[in-house]
Structure 1
Amino acid sequence: MSSNAFDKVRTRIAPSPTGFLHLGTARTALYSWAYARHHGGEFVLRIEDTDVARSTQDSVDQIIAAMNWLGLDYDEGPVYQMQRLHRYQAVVDQLIAEGRAYRCYATPEELEAMREAQRARGEKTLYDRRWRPEPGKTLPPPPEGVKPVIRFANPVDGDVTWNDLVKGSITINNREIDDLIIVRQDGVPTYNFAVVVDDWDMRISHVFRGDEHVNNTPWQINIFNALAAPLPQFGHLPIILGDDGLKLSKRRGAVSVTAYADNGYLPEAMLNYLARLGWSHGDDELFTAEQMVAWFDGSHLSRSPAQWDPAKLDWVNSHYLKQIDEERLAALTVSQLAVKGIVATVDEVLPKVGLFKDRCSTVAALADWLAMYFGPVTPSADDLAAHVTDAVRPALAVFATRLSALTDWDKTTIQQALKETLAATGLKMPQLAVPVRVLVCGRAQTPSLDAVLALFDKKKVLDRLQTP
C-alpha cells in the first residue's frame, strides 16, 4: 500500500489541543503508528493549535502523556502549527501569485444575505465567487476598513476521486464544493489549508483519520494538486459509538485516554481493545502490540461503525491484569491506594496481589480489595444485622481466643483454628466464616478465609473481631 511518490511510509497523528486525547483519536494514532512500524516507516506527532482561543498547554501536556502511556512512540514532533505561520504565508503568497488563491472582502452580512437568497431559491448554499478574479471580470475596489480572507480558487468543473484505504473509491464533483477560506482575517490558516502544507512538508505518505473528514478531502486533494505536491493515501475510519448508540465524543462521557489510565486500566489492554474497534486479524481477540505491528498492513479495516463495549474492555483488561509482572501490578496498586488516601509500599502490597488479582478487571478494583489491609473497614449495617448475630457471637469469641494463641501466623494455623472453633461450637463453616469476613474485611464475600486472614497483621484481625 506504499505510495510510489514517497521514499518511505510516514504517518502522523494531529490532535487539536482543545481537550484531552479522546478514544477515537487514540485509535487513529494506534493505526497510524502500527502502519508506520509495520512498514519500517516513521510516525509523526503534530499539534494542530490554530484554534488559538481554545488551545491550551494543559491539553498538549495531557495528549503527550496519553501517547506516552499507550506506548505510541513518535519519530518526529511534537510539531506545532502556530510555530509555522511564516511557512503558511509563503505558500499563500505563491498561490495568490499563480492565481490559485485570492482575497475576498465579502462581509459576514453580505455572505449571509447571499446564503438566504440561495436558500429561498432552493439552492445549495455555496460561496458565489464574487471576489474571484476571472478573465473579463471587473472586481470592485477593496472596501475600506474590511480585512480580507484568503480563498482557494477551487476548480469549477470535474471530479475529485481517490481510492480510500478503508472505503474504496470515492468521487465528489467540484460543483459540490466552493472556494474554501484558507486564511482567516487574522492571518491564521484554516484547518484544510494548514493540514495540506504540513503533510506536504512532512512527507506524509498515508493519512488515517476519522470519517468526519471525508468531506474535507476533496478540498485538500485540490490544494495538493495546486501545489504540485505528492498526494498521500487517505483512509477514513468509521466512528466509534457509545453504549447508548451515539457517537463517542469529547462532550459525551469520560472518554479520555488518561481517564482510563487513572481508573486502573493497563495500556496494553487499552491498545488491544482499541485495535479491535475497526480492525481484525482472523479471530484473534488478544494480542500484543508487537503482534499488531506484524499484522497491521492496512487491510481488514472495517467500514462499519464500531461499538464501545465497557464489559469487553474489562474482560481484556482482566486478562492482562493476570499476566503482568506482580511487582509492576503492586506498584500500580500502590498508586491507586494513594488516590484513596491510603499510604502503602510495594513491599507491603506485593504479597497480597496474587490472591485477589483474578477477581479484578482493573487495578482500581484490586485497590478496593487491598484497602482493607491498610485502612479501616466499615461493615454495612445490613451485613452486621444479617451475619453478626447474638447466636454467633460466642463462636467469634472462641475463634479470637484460638487465633490469639497462635505462635505461627499462616494459612495452615488459621485453618486449624477455624476447624477447632467449628468443632467446639457445632457451627458450619459459612455460619462462622461470613461473620468473620464482615468484621475483619468489611464485606461478606472474599477468597478463602484462611488465605485472606494470613495476609493481615494478627493484631488487626483480633481487634476487628471484638464485636460491636
Structure 2
Amino acid sequence: MPDAPVRVRFAPSPTGLLHIGGLRTALYNYLLARQTGGAFVLRIEDTDRSRFDADAEQDILDGLAWAGLTTDEGPTQGGAVGPYRQSERRARYDEAARRLLDQGDAYVAFDTPEALEALREGGAAYDATTRGDLDNAVARGEEEARRRVEAGEPHVVRLKVPAGETVAFRDEVRGDVSFDTSDVDDQVLVKSDGMPTYHLANVVDDHAMGITDVIRGEEWLSSVPKHVLLYRALGWEPPRMAHLPLILSPNGGKLSKRSAGRLGIPVSVREYREAGYEPEAVVNFLALLGWNPGDDRELFSLDELAEAFSVDRIGRSGAQFSLDKLEWFNGQHLRALGPAEIARRARPAVDARWGEGGVGEGALVAAAALLRERIAKAADLADAGYLLGHDPETYDPAGVKKRWKDDSARLVALYADRLEAEDAFTEESTEAAMRQLAEDEGVGFGRVVHPARLAVTGVTAGAGMFETLVVVGREATVRRLRRAAEVLG
C-alpha cells in the first residue's frame, strides 16, 4: 500500500457511454488518491478515431460528476501535465516512436490486411518466429523500408519483442506475474494513420504525467509485458500496477452487454441514473464489488470508503453482480436522506409524470416523509399520485374483489360524513372516527379500513392509513370516499 501521495488516472476511451465497470475502475483510483492525499487525473484516450464518439466524453464527465468522483486534473480544468486528451499529445508519441526505431526496439511494417488475415488463419502470430518472413524492415532491410516510408507507402510501427525472455513484474492484486516473450506478439505501436495505439500512448502518458499507480481492469493484464518492454526500452521506471477482478454475471461468466441485457441489468452509468438509482448507493455497491473493508461493514459514504480503502484488500476472484443487492443498498442510502432531499431527487420523475408544476413542493415533501421507508427509489414517489393531489382514476381490481363488500359503499359514505363533521383532522381523530363507526354499525374494524384505503388511494397496501389520510387532506379524502361509494357501488 502506498505510504505517500499517489498520482493515479482514469483513462477511458470516448467510444460509447461510460460502462458501470469503468465507473468501478474510476472509483478505486479516486479512493486511493483521496486516502493518500494524492491526485486523481482524468485522461481521455481518444486515439482510435474510427470509433470516436463526440458525445462520449461529456457522458464520461457527467457520470463521474453524478457519482461524486471529482477529478484534480483533466480536460475541463487542465493541469500542469496537460493536455489531457491523447489526440492533442501526438508529438510526444511521435518522439517516442522515433526513439524506439532508432534504438532497434521497433520496426516499420508494410503488411496488407490480406497478408495479416492469412497469418492469423494459419494459426501464427506476428512475432520473432514470423517477422523475418513478412513485409517489414526486419525482412526487407532498413534502407528499403526507409525508401518506402519516404515514398508515402502505408505502414505501421511494431514493437520488436525479444525472443526467449521472461518478463516478470509484481501486480498489487495478483502478486508476482511473469510472461514468456514467446507468447507476446510484436504489437502495433503506431497505426497507418500515424496515431499511436493504446499501448504506446498509455506508456508515454503515464510516464509524462508522473502516474505512480495504475489501477485498471483484469482484461489489460496480458498487455503488461508489452508495457514493461516499452518502459525498459525507453529507460523509464514502470508505475505500480493493480488489475481488478472481473465483474461476473449473476449466472456466472463475465458480465457482458449481451448477458446483462438478457438479465435486465443496466450496463451504462447513464442507465443507472435514468433508472433512479441513488449515486451514493451505486458507489457503495461498486466499492464492495471486488474489495472488502476487512470487517462486517456494508454501508459507507464516499468519504468513509476513502478512509477504509486499501489495494491489498482487492480480491483476485471475479465479483458477482447482484441487482437485488444494489436495490438493497439503494433503499438504505435513500432512507438516510431527509424528506426534502428525497423530494428534490424525485422531482424530475414527478414532473415527467404529472407535469411541471403539477405537484406542489409541500405535497411532495410530505409524500417523501410518509413513504421513505417503503420506496426503493426516489422516483417511485411519482407513482404515489394519491399523495400528490391526484385522485385515483382506477381501483386495483384484485383489491376490489377481495376488499369491497356489499356494505362497503354505505360504510365509506358514512365515514366521509363523520370526517366532514369532525372539528379536527389528525391521525388520532380520523382513527377514532373510524373505530366509532365500526362499533356503531356492529362490524369489524377491517370492514371499514380496507375499503376506505381502496377508496382514497386506489390500492390495498401502503403507509399507515391515518397518516395517509392526513397527507391527503380532509377535502380530498371526503371526496374520494364518496366517489368510490358511487363508482364501486
Deviation string, structure 1 residues 389-412 (Cα, Å, up to 9, x no partner): 332111011011112223332212
Partner of residue 2, structure 1: 2
What CA distance in whole angstroms lies between the structure 2 residues aligned with 1:169 and 1:370?
59
Partner of residue 100, structure 1: 105
Partner of residue 381, structure 1: 397
Partner of residue 360, structure 1: 375
Show structure 1 runs of 5+ residues with no match: none
Asked if 1:390 corresponds to 2:402, the answer is: no
Asked if 1:257 corresponds to 2:248, the answer is: no
2:359 pairs, out of 344, 364, 367, with 344
What CA distance in whole angstroms lies between the structure 1 residues aligned with 2:52 and 2:400?
53
**1:443 Cα shift?**
0.8
What CA distance in whole angstroms lies between the structure 1 residues aligned with 2:419 and 2:404?
18
| CA shift in 2, pair 1:421/1:71, >3 Å | same
**More moved, 394-403 vs 345-354:** 345-354
What CA distance in whole angstroms lies between the structure 2 residues aligned with 1:444 and 1:212?
50
**1:239 Cα shift?**
0.7
**1:84 Cα shift?**
1.5
Partner of residue 275, structure 1: 287
Asked whether the equivalents of residues 157 and 173 of structure 1 are also in contact (C-alpha less than 8 Å), the reply is yes
**1:261 Cα shift?**
2.4
SS at match of 1:44: strand
Partner of residue 284, structure 1: 297
SS at match of 1:374: coil
| CA shift in 2, pair 1:62/1:426, >3 Å | farther
Asked if 1:43 corresponds to 2:40, the answer is: yes
**Structural mapping, 1:30-429, within 5 Å:** 30-78=27-75, 79-117=84-122, 119=123, 126=127, 128-129=130-131, 130-131=134-135, 133=137, 142=148, 146-251=153-258, 252-253=260-261, 254-281=266-293, 282-342=295-355, 343-369=358-384, 372-377=387-392, 378-429=394-445
Partner of residue 430, structure 1: 446
Q: TM-score, normalised by structure 1?
A: 0.92
Asked whether the equivalents of residues 353 and 366 of structure 1 are also in contact (C-alpha less than 8 Å), the reply is yes
**1:135 Cα shift?**
11
Partner of residue 14, structure 1: 11
SS at match of 1:455: helix
SS at match of 2:115: helix
Report the AA paired with residue 332 of structure 1.
Answer: R
**1:48 Cα shift?**
1.4
2:455 pairs, out of 439, 460, 463, with 439
What CA distance in whole angstroms lies between the structure 2 residues aligned with 1:138 and 1:38?
51
What CA distance in whole angstroms lies between the structure 1 residues aligned with 2:139 and 2:118?
26
Partner of residue 20, structure 2: 23
What CA distance in whole angstroms lies between the structure 2 residues aligned with 1:404 and 1:179?
85
Show structure 2 runs of 5+ residues with no match: 76-83
Structure 1 residue runs of 4 or more that deviate by more than 4 Å after TM superposition: 123-127, 131-141
What CA distance in whole angstroms lies between the structure 2 residues aligned with 1:149 and 1:135?
15
Asked whether the equivalents of residues 15 and 46 of structure 1 are also in contact (C-alpha less than 8 Å), the reply is yes
What CA distance in whole angstroms lies between the structure 2 residues aligned with 1:58 and 1:368?
32
Over aligned residues, Cα RMSD in angstroms? 2.3
**1:288 Cα shift?**
2.0
Task: Name which structure has the greater RCO, CA cutoff 8 Å, separation 6+.
Answer: 1
**More moved, 403-412 vs 160-169:** 403-412
What CA distance in whole angstroms lies between the structure 1 residues aligned with 2:302 and 2:330?
14
**1:109 Cα shift?**
1.5
Q: TM-score, normalised by structure 2?
A: 0.88
SS at match of 2:376: coil
Deviation string, structure 1 residues 319-368 (Cα, Å, up to 9, x no partner): 22221232211211222312323432433312232221111222123443
What CA distance in whole angstroms lies between the structure 2 residues aligned with 1:391 and 1:51?
72
Percent of residue pairs bearing the same amino acid type: 33
**1:221 Cα shift?**
1.2
Asked whether the equivalents of residues 245 and 318 of structure 2 are also in contact (C-alpha less than 8 Å), the reply is yes
Asked whether the equivalents of residues 391 and 457 of structure 2 are also in contact (C-alpha less than 8 Å), the reply is no
What CA distance in whole angstroms lies between the structure 2 residues aligned with 1:125 and 1:55?
27
**More moved, 62-71 vs 333-342:** 333-342
Asked whether the equivalents of residues 387 and 434 of structure 1 are also in contact (C-alpha less than 8 Å), the reply is yes
Report the AA paired with residue 38 of structure 1.
Answer: Q
Report the AA paired with residue 407 of structure 2.
Answer: A
Asked whether the equivalents of residues 339 and 372 of structure 2 are also in contact (C-alpha less than 8 Å), the reply is no
